[in-house]
């Protein structure tokens, strides 16, 4: 991640993007990585997910016995105060890394107790998709690589899986690959479970090739994954309503786009660009949507996300894309690096909606809450990371945030903690 750049902004702009102190919140560190010799327990945690039993699952991008990252499980304490960590899988532990390497995607539940993820590297440096399924007989988890990218000539099926995935009620998995495809600028794909008797596995189908339009007006390099209306409330995806996502580049001025992808009756999918970033010419609306997770979509199909660049201070923005008067419109809700000394950070991570419609997410310095209200939205820093000596509360948060049924937030920091290998935390707002 690049360094935060802050420049003075006008008082009028500060008034437009209100930032107020947040109510007291309690952050507890569930686990500090690199506790074991050689960081065998993992280092640099990136993603987190919650199981129905209250465990935390996630991935690290470093550490483990192979130093290529791990899939881990954190279980609540049975006695005492310490959560227990267990390594479920060491990446690149198979020849040629056919089990993957560099898992920057989220772990995505299917509603049946299974989780799916993707890696950017592994199996010829092309990346894989993997599945975690409960091993009920042994109270553990089974890891299985279910697809290797670049299986088709010229990587027409994509390569380097990333971002958040969507699993529909039939068990089909929808995701993005940041590169590959017919033009080499990334794809949206679907993995469908094989239903033939005696066979087990998944078949892949490319739903959309980016840069299919002249000058990549439809977007290029998707990295943020996919979502849909109802995802924040936990409603399952039905496979018939639009999927939403972003691309890092492409669009009318190469600043990235917000897009929708809608299934058609003939079996094809139709892509529509909902917003071109940097459309203002000086990028006040943002540029380069971030690559840590997915968009947040409320029940009215209002779409919320963040960019890494652009805005009043070129440190990224939080934005809303909404449909009104037969047109999609973008509103910049907040420009990062607006607080004194830039303590609000730079936009890096995905956001989630709570039941009241508040947005929670992480910058590269803080966990924040935003109450959407157009240009009068209220931004609050809920926790400033590295606020304890030696950053024992964690530093450099970059991954996703999840919320449990009680409104507690869980996430990870890629650095800091008691052993310097990053942390997994729980925050009670």
Task: Rounding to the nearest 10 degrees, give the CA dihedral for residues 40, 43, 46, 52.
Answer: 40
Q: Judge contact between 206 and 157, C-beta under 8 A.
A: yes
The per-residue pLDDT for 94 is: 95
The per-residue pLDDT for 13 is: 34
Domain boundaries, the chain: 11-428
Q: What is the pLDDT along the chain (429 residues), one digit of tens a residue?
A: 333 223 222 323 333 334 444 556 899 999 999 999 999 999 999 999 999 999 999 999 999 999 999 999 999 998 777 899 999 999 999 999 999 999 988 899 998 999 999 999 999 889 999 999 998 776 789 999 999 999 999 999 999 998 899 999 999 999 999 999 999 999 999 999 998 776 678 999 999 999 999 999 999 999 889 999 988 888 899 999 999 999 999 999 999 999 999 999 888 999 999 999 997 667 899 998 875 557 999 888 899 999 988 999 989 999 999 998 889 999 999 999 888 878 898 877 778 999 899 999 999 999 999 999 988 999 999 999 999 999 999 999 988 999 999 999 999 999 999 999 999 999 998
Residues 6+ apart with CB under 8 A from 274: 244, 257, 258, 259, 260, 303, 321, 328
Q: Give one DSSP letter per residue of 344-399, joined into a string.
A: T--EEEEEEE-TTS-EEEEESSEEEEEE-BTBT-EEEEEEETT-SGGGTT-EEE-S
- The continuous run of DSSP H or E covering 15 comes out as helix 11-16
Total-model pTM:
0.91
The per-residue pLDDT for 22 is: 53
272: left (phi over 0), alpha (psi -120 to 50) or beta: beta
Whether domain 11-428 has CATH 2.130.10.10? yes
Q: Residue 21, exposed/middle/buried by CB under 10 A (0-12, 13-18, 19+)? A: exposed
């Amino acid at each position: 991640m690049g360094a935060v750049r802050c420049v003075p902004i006008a008082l009028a702009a500060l008034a437009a993007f209100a930032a107020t102190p947040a109510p007291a919140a309690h952050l507890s560190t569930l686990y500090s990585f690199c506790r074991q010799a050689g960081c065998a327990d993992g280092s640099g945690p990136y993603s987190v997910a919650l199981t129905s039993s209250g465990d935390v699952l996630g991935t690290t991008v470093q550490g483990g016995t192979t130093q290529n990252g791990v899939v881990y499980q954190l279980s609540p304490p049975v006695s005492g105060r310490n959560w227990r960590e267990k390594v479920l899988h060491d990446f690149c532990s198979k020849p040629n890394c056919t089990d993957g390497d560099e898992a920057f995607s989220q772990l995505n539940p299917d509603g049946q107790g299974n989780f799916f993820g993707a890696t950017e590297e592994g199996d010829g440096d092309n990346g894989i998709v993997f599945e975690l399924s409960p091993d009920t007989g042994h109270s553990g988890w089974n890891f299985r690589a279910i697809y290797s990218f670049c299986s088709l000539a010229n990587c027409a099926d994509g390569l380097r899986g990333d971002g958040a995935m969507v699993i529909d009620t039939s068990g089909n998995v929808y995701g993005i690959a940041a590169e590959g495809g017919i033009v080499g600028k990334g794809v949206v794909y679907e993995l469908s479970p094989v239903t033939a008797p005696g066979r087990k596995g998944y078949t892949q189908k490319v739903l959309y090739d980016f840069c299919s339009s002249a000058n990549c007006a439809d977007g290029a390099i998707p990295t943020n994954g996919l979502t849909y209306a109802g995802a924040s409330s936990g409603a399952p995806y039905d496979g018939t309503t639009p999927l939403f996502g972003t691309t890092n580049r492409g669009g009318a001025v190469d600043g990235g786009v917000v897009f929708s992808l809608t299934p058609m009756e003939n079996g094809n999918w139709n892509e529509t660009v909902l917003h071109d970033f940097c459309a203002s010419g000086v990028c006040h609306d943002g540029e380069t949507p971030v690559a840590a997770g997915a968009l947040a979509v409320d029940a009215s199909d209002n779409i919320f996300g963040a960019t890494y660049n652009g805005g009043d201070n070129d440190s990224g923005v939080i934005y809303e894309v909404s449909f009104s008067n037969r047109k999609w419109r973008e509103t910049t809700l907040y420009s990062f690096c607006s607080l004194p000394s830039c303590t609000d950070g730079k936009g890096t991570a995905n956001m989630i909606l709570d039941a009241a419609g508040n947005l929670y997410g992480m910058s590269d310095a803080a966990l924040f809450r935003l109450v959407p209200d157009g240009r009068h939205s209220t931004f609050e820093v809920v926790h400033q990371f590295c606020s304890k000596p030696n950053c024992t509360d964690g530093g450099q948060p970059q991954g996703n945030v999840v919320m449990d049924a009680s409104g507690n937030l869980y996430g990870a920091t890629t650095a800091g903690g008691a052993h310097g290998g990053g942390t997994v935390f729980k925050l009670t707002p």
